[in-house]
């Protein structure tokens, strides 16, 4: 049994002093702050472990980009105790049960935090989706635009409808008791929402402004509109990934008011970085959709506060430095992805403080709401019966981002050299401090 006490503990209903008792990996009791019990955390704040539902681990097949050992070690160092791995850029992508099992085999025994998996929806694999759901994936990711890797092609809007209707038909059959064995049939579809017809050719250039013009807000806005139309036609659960364009926010708000089952996320880089400050040739800032201007960023923050955006996740998408074309600084040729898994909490807290946003809100966006999104019923909160995934966080300490201290396989990040507020001191996974022994479990939707 482990007992922790802290003067500041973040609960779903706010912050207060408390004593937390852990037994068999779960929170067994929560009591008043007791100055004589267990380990005293002093001035540290006790948080629930963060849940990051948008991580590209890339193993197997592109382990030289990232891998389960390095990604999950970075996650733990940043206070993230659960990740859900995206179905690309691994080879094979997670578009069949065989591919899922290959990925699970690689993750087993080398993960420092708990790991779940998304399945992929690509042209021609609609028939594979029920078996992937049965195998325990947390839902299905698709692209409406080129993903950047040939083995994970995008769906057309007709293909998206086919995938949604396949799973919705099974959901109906389950409700009518025509199917008894299939689990998790009310699948969540998560969508990279940009429409290719609204993109402009990206020509070789070191100027960030040229890259930004190639992916205008209209590409996101019209893709979101198409996804919302699909949700209305099919009744499916749909989630918009890494929303960047604030012009799509009114569409989302109206859809939610109309009762559609739609949610949306954004990422720390959209909330803290802005186009006006990105130097020419600084390709480590490139991601898709792109980082936009300050006014757009302000609107994203307001949408988070209003509940139009549900959560904040990393979209950790690293690659070898050579693919970032740091030698030429050519944004058109560089891989698009931000490496930030270890840094999300201090990055967000630094920006939140400047905007007068309390730490409890940051925790809700980065722990509770991502867990709720994917049905992790024992993650993301400090509550009796929940897994004792906990973080001791020093919100008043600061640090300078030194790439040499990052656990990512390739620590090329736009935050290098930045001064951040907030330091993770200890991360516990099911009540045990994360150390040099990988103890992460592989999660399925059923097991949560």
- Tell me the per-residue pLDDT of 115-172, one tens digit each, with 9 for 90 and over: 999 999 999 999 999 999 999 999 999 999 999 999 999 999 999 999 999 888 776 5
CA-nearest of 168, 67, 165 to 409 is 67
Strand order in the sheet with 119-120: 119-120, 140-143, 188-192, 237-240, 262-266, 311-312
Residue 9's pLDDT band, with cuts at 50, 70 and 90, is very high
Q: For the whole model, what pTM was predicted?
A: 0.96
CA-nearest of 126, 137, 138, 117 to 168 is 126
Q: What angle do CA 17, 20, 23 make, to 5 degrees?
A: 180
Domains by residue range for the chain, with CATH: 49-382 (3.20.20.140)
In this structure, what token pair is assigned to residue 187?
A: 């699948």
Contacts of 307 (CB under 8 A, 6+ apart): none
The Cα 379–Cα 236 span in angstroms is 24
Q: Are 256 and 264 in contact, with CB atoms under 8 Å apart?
A: no
- Tell me the per-residue pLDDT of 283-329, one tens digit each, with 9 for 90 and over: 999 999 999 999 999 999 999 999 999 999 999 999 999 999 999 99
Residue 37's pLDDT band, with cuts at 50, 70 and 90, is confident
| Backbone phi and psi for residue 192, each to the nearest 5 degrees, phi listed first | -80, 105
- Tell me the per-residue pLDDT of 300-311, one tens digit each, with 9 for 90 and over: 999 999 999 999
CA-nearest of 253, 241, 232, 245 to 199 is 245
3-class secondary structure, 237: strand
């Amino acid at each position: 049994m482990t007992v922790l006490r802290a003067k500041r503990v973040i609960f779903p209903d706010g912050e207060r002093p408390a004593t937390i008792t852990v037994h068999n990996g779960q929170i067994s009791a929560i009591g008043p702050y007791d100055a004589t019990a267990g380990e005293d955390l002093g001035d540290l704040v006790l948080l629930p472990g963060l849940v990051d539902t948008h991580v590209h681990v890339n193993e197997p097949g592109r382990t030289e980009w990232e891998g389960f050992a390095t990604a999950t070690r970075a996650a733990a160092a940043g206070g993230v105790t659960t990740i859900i791995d995206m179905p690309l850029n691994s080879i094979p992508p997670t578009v069949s049960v065989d591919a899922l099992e290959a990925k699970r085999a690689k993750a087993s025994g080398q993960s420092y935090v708990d790991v779940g998996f998304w399945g992929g929806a690509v042209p021609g694999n609609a028939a594979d989706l029920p078996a992937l759901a049965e195998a325990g994936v947390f839902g299905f990711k698709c692209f409406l635009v080129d993903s950047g890797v040939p083995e994970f092609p995008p769906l057309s809007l007709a293909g998206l409808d086919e995938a949604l209707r396949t799973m919705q038909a099974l959901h109906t059959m389950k409700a009518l008791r025509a199917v008894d064995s299939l689990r998790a049939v009310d699948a969540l579809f998560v969508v990279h929402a940009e429409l290719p017809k609204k993109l402009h050719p990206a020509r070789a250039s070191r100027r960030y402004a040229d890259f930004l013009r190639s992916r205008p807000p209209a590409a996101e806005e019209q893709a979101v509109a198409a996804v919302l139309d699909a949700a209305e036609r099919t009744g499916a659960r749909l989630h918009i990934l890494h929303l960047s364009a604030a012009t799509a926010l009114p569409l989302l708000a109206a859809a939610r008011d109309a009762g559609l089952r739609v949610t949306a996320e954004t990422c720390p880089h959209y909330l803290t970085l802005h186009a006006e400050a990105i130097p020419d040739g600084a390709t480590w800032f490139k991601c898709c959709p792109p980082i936009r201007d300050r006014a757009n960023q302000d609107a994203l923050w307001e949408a988070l506060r209003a509940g139009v955006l549900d959560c904040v996740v990393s979209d950790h998408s690293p690659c070898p430095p050579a693919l970032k074309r740091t030698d030429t600084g050519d944004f058109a040729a560089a891989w698009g992805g931000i490496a930030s898994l270890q840094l999300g909490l201090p990055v967000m807290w630094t920006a939140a403080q400047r905007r007068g946003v309390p730490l409890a809100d940051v925790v809700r966006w980065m722990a509770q709401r991502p867990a709720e999104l994917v049905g992790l019923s024992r993650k993301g909160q400090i509550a009796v019966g929940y897994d004792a995934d906990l973080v001791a966080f020093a919100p008043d300490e600061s640090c300078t981002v030194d790439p040499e201290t990052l656990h990512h396989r390739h620590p090329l990040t736009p935050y290098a050299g930045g001064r951040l507020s907030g330091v993770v001191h200890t991360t516990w996974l099911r009540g045990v401090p994360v150390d040099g022994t990988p103890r992460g479990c592989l999660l399925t939707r059923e097991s949560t």
